[in-house]
Structure 1
Amino acid sequence: MSILPWLLVIVVSFIIAKSIYGFVIGEKEIMGFRIKERSFSIEMFTSLVITYTIVIIGFGLIYFILSFEGIYLVEGGELRKVSPIGSLIHSMYFSGVTMLTIGYGDITPIGIGRLLALIEALIGYILPTAFVIHFVNSNQERARE
C-alpha cells in the first residue's frame, strides 16, 4: 500500500477543513476569494457556494484517490470496473449527492468510504446552519451600530 494516496487525502482534507472553518468563523477571504461583507448578500451567498464547491470537489477527490487503494464506490450493488475518468465522474457525482442530499442509493461506498460519506453528509447539514447563524449575527451587529 502506497503512502502517496494517503498524503493526498490528508492534503485535500486539510483544504476542506480550512474552507469550512473559514466560513464558520467569518473570515473575509475563503481560499483566495475576497468576501466584502458578512451578512445576507451576494457576497454571503457566494462564500457559501464556494465553500460547498470546495467540499464537494474535495470529497470527490478523496473518493477518487481511495479508489486506487481498493476502497470503491459500488454502483447498483455490484462492483464495476470503470476507467479512471469514469471513476472520477462517479466520485464527484457521489460526493455532490451525498453533500446536498443524503444520497439516492444508486452508488454506495464500502469500507472507510462509508465513514467519509457520513462525515460529508454531516457537513452538508451543518453548513446551512452556519449560514443562518452568520445571517442572524450580522443583523444583530447592524442593529447595535
Structure 2
Amino acid sequence: MGILSWLFICGICGIMVWSLIQFIRGGRYRVNLHLRESRFSAEIFYTLLVVYFTVIIGFGLIYFILSINQILLVENGELREVSIIASLIHSMYFSGVTLLTIGYGDITPIGIGRLIALIQALIGYILPTAFVLRLVQSNQKDRDR
C-alpha cells in the first residue's frame, strides 16, 4: 500500500478521533442543553445522528481506500472485482452495518480490515453509552443549580 493511502487513512482517523474527543469533552462549540421535562431531546437526537454519520462515512472511506489498494471486502465468500462506485457503495454499507453492530455477514473484511472493523464495532457499541452519560451529567448539573 502506498504512502499516500496511509496518509489519507491517518488523516481520516485523526479527524474522527478529534471529532469524538471534542464531543466527549464538550468542545469549543459547547451546546448548553436545557432539557425540558419531556422524554425526547431533539438536540441530543440530532447530535447522535451527526456523530453516527461522521463515523460511518469516515470508516467507509477507510474501507474504500483499502479496497482501492487491493485489501478487499469479500462479498458472499468470494472475491469479486467491482467498479469504483460499487466499491464505494459496498464500503459505506459495510461501515454502517458494522457500526450499528448488525453484522449480516454478506460482506467480510480481510487482512487489516478485520482490525478496523473490530474497532468500528467497538465504537458503535460504546457510543450510545456516551450519549446517555452526557444526558445524565447534564441533568445532574441542572439539578445542582
TM-score of the two chains, using structure 1 as the length reference: 0.91
| Aligned partner of residue 74 in structure 2, secondary structure | strand
Sequence identity, in percent? 62
8 A Cα contact 1:35 1:44, kept in partner = no
Partner of 2:33: 37
8 A Cα contact 1:63 1:113, kept in partner = yes
Q: Provide the C-alpha distance between the structure 1 equivalents of 2:98 and 2:28, rounded to a whole number of angstroms.
A: 28
Partner amino acid, structure 2, of 1:99:
L
Q: Provide the C-alpha distance between the structure 2 equivalents of 1:142 and 1:51, rounded to a whole number of angstroms.
A: 24
Q: Provide the C-alpha distance between the structure 2 equivalents of 1:97 and 1:27, rounded to a whole number of angstroms.
A: 28
For structure 1, which runs of at least 5 residues remain unmatched after alignment? none
Q: Provide the C-alpha distance between the structure 1 equivalents of 2:5 and 2:128, rounded to a whole number of angstroms.
A: 31
Instruction: State the Cα RMSD in Å.
Output: 1.6
Q: After the TM superposition, which parts of structure 1 deviate over 6 Å for at least 4 consecutive aligned residues?
A: none
Partner amino acid, structure 2, of 1:95:
S
For structure 2, which runs of at least 5 residues remain unmatched after alignment? none
Partner of 1:103: 103
What number of residue pairs does the alignment pair up? 141
Partner amino acid, structure 2, of 1:17:
V
Cα shift readout 1:16-56 (whole Å, capped 9, x = no counterpart): 11121122222253xxxx74527662222211111110000
Q: CA deviation at 1:143?
A: 0.3
Q: Provide the C-alpha distance between the structure 1 equivalents of 2:65 and 2:31, rounded to a whole number of angstroms.
A: 31
Q: Provide the C-alpha distance between the structure 1 equivalents of 2:87 and 2:96, rounded to a whole number of angstroms.
A: 14
